Amino acid sequence: MIVILKQNTTEAQLNNFTGWLASQGLDVHISRGSYETVIGLIGDTSKVDEELVKSLEMVESVRRISDPFKSANRKFHPDDSVVKVDAEGKVAFGGGRFGVIAGPCSVETKEQIISVAGDVKKAGAVMLRGGAFKPRTSPYDFQGLGAEGIRLLLEAKKETGLPIITEILSITHIELFEDIDVIQVGARNMQNFELLKELGRLKKTILLKRGLANTLKELLMSAEYIMSGGNENVILCERGIRTFDNTYTRNTLDLSAVPVLKELTHLPVIVDPSHAVGSSKYVESMALAAVAAGADGIMTEVHNDPLKALCDGAQSLTPEQFDRMMSKINMVRQAVAK
Ligand code: PEP
Ligand code: MN
């Protein structure tokens, strides 16, 4: 249920009202927009007397929301959320803030991560990615450097000033992520609900990737797991899904996810074309299409020597290819700017 308040509602009236709602066992989500204040009621609203709420002087209107996702719902929060990566918001996504995240699939050596970090920064990336814990299909493949990978990422941050994003695979590793700026929940863990609940207790920004065969509603429900725990700093990421034809591409990039999600939720939506297409040949065109579709950011894999990469070399751009793509991204952004 959402309650829209009249413009002249005082702080005291608002506190009185939210106090009453809390006494009914409901959580409230308050969104102060430029034109109206929207109160989202979270919990069992079936016993709330709609007529009684409507009769209150400060109430403009009341609407029942049937969508199962509440905190993530745009009806609860009409303005775009701007999700900050650092405390001052030097890097942020959503509400007009756009950024490109780039780096190797996995951290391999100090030289590799520092060299890629420097190259992507020079080309205009706002954040460095790199996997320390890798979710590989085969247990015989490189599993990542683990804690050492995180240490190397932090060295790259010190060297370049770029904030860091890296993927978490297990709750048991959570302490290792203390100095990491954004924690990534990968496609394979999108429905690891115990992990999501734990991340909901943090204040850190979480990048939540869509699962290989998950609907947009399921993605939003997973975001809801994090947000209902108190962590509203969630960025969504479309990274391609399994379809009947993944002969020539690793997955199928569902670009319609961008406008659809942006209608359904106030959370920022970014696109990872690398894992979607699986080949560096197609990454640029899909990145440009995602920008034109209104994505709040792009995440791509870049490697200093893709042929020797320990993971996902085929889809990794060289620093030169990345630099070219960045110039084109800037042109597309200008072309579609409102
Ligand atoms: C990744 O970004 O390194 C990754 C493993 O992606 P995904 O979870 O989308 O497969
Ligand atoms: Mn990868």
Q: How confident is residue 8, by pLDDT bands cut at 50, 70 and 90?
A: confident
CA 23 to chain centre: 33
3-state DSSP of 188-256: HHCCCHHHHHHHHCCCCEEEEECCCCCCHHHHHHHHHHHHHCCCCCEEEEECCECCCCCCCCCCECCCC
So what's the pLDDT on residue 43?
A: 84
Q: Is residue 338's pLDDT more than 80?
A: no
SS3 category, 283: helix
Q: Tell me, what's the pLDDT at 35?
A: 78
The H-or-E segment that residue 166 falls in is strand 164-167
More confident residue, 338 or 162: 162
Backbone φ, ψ for residue 149 (5° rounding): -60, -40
275 CA to centre of ligand 1 in angstroms: 7
- CATH 3.30.70.1140 domain residues, the chain: 2-63
Mutate to test the pocket of ligand 1, among 105, 107, 237 (most ligand atoms within 8 A of CB): 105
**DSSP per-residue codes, 116-140:** HHHHHHHHT-SEEE-BSS---SSTT
- CB of 211 within 6 A of ligand 1: the answer is no
**Residue-level pLDDT at 324:** 98
Say how far apart CA 259 and CA 121 lie, in whole Å. Answer: 28
Which of 67-76, 174-183, 186-195, 246-255 is predicted least confidently? 67-76
Instruction: Look over the chain and give the mean of its residue pLDDT values, rounded to a whole number.
Output: 96
Write the residue with the smallest CA distance to atom 10 of ligand 1.
187
Which of 179, 93, 152, 91 has the alpha carbon at shortest distance from 127? Answer: 91
Instruction: Tell me the DSSP string of 295-306.
Output: -SEEEEEB-SSG
**Mean pLDDT in residue range 243-267:** 97
Q: Is the dihedral of CA 282, 163, 205, 335 positive or negative?
A: negative
Give 55's contacts (C-beta < 8 A, 6+ positions apart).
none
pLDDT at 34 over 80: no
Distance 241 CA to ligand 1 centre (A): 12
Q: Is the CB of 186 under 6 A from ligand 1?
A: yes
Choosing among 3.55.50.30, 1.10.260.40, 3.30.70.1140, 3.40.50.720, the CATH entry for 2-63 is 3.30.70.1140
Evaluate whether the domain defined by 83-337 bears CATH number 3.90.1010.10: no
Q: What is the pLDDT of residues 38-55, one digit of tens each?
A: 999 988 888 889 999 999
- Overall average pLDDT of the 303-329 stretch: 98
**CATH 3.20.20.70 domain range(s) in the chain:** 83-337
Residue 293: its pLDDT value, please? 98
Give the pLDDT band of residue 36 (cuts 50, 70, 90). Answer: confident
Mean pLDDT of 242-261: 97
pLDDT band at 216 (very low <50, low <70, confident <90, very high): very high
Decide whether any atom of ligand 1 lies within 6 Å of the 105 Cβ: yes
User: How far is the C-alpha of 153 from the C-alpha of 175, rounded, in Å?
Assistant: 15
Q: Which of 304, 308, 310 is nearest to 322 (CA)?
A: 304
Q: What is the pLDDT of residue 89?
A: 94
Can you tell me which atom of ligand 1 is nearest the CA of 135?
A: 5
The H or E element that residue 27 is part of is: strand 27-32
Q: What integer pLDDT is reported at residue 88 of this predicted model?
A: 93
Among residues 318, 327, 335, 296, which one has the least CA distance to residue 127? 296
pLDDT tens digits, residue range 81-140?
A: 999 999 899 999 999 999 999 999 999 999 999 999 999 999 999 999 999 999 999 999
193 backbone dihedrals φ, ψ, rounded to 5°: -65, -35
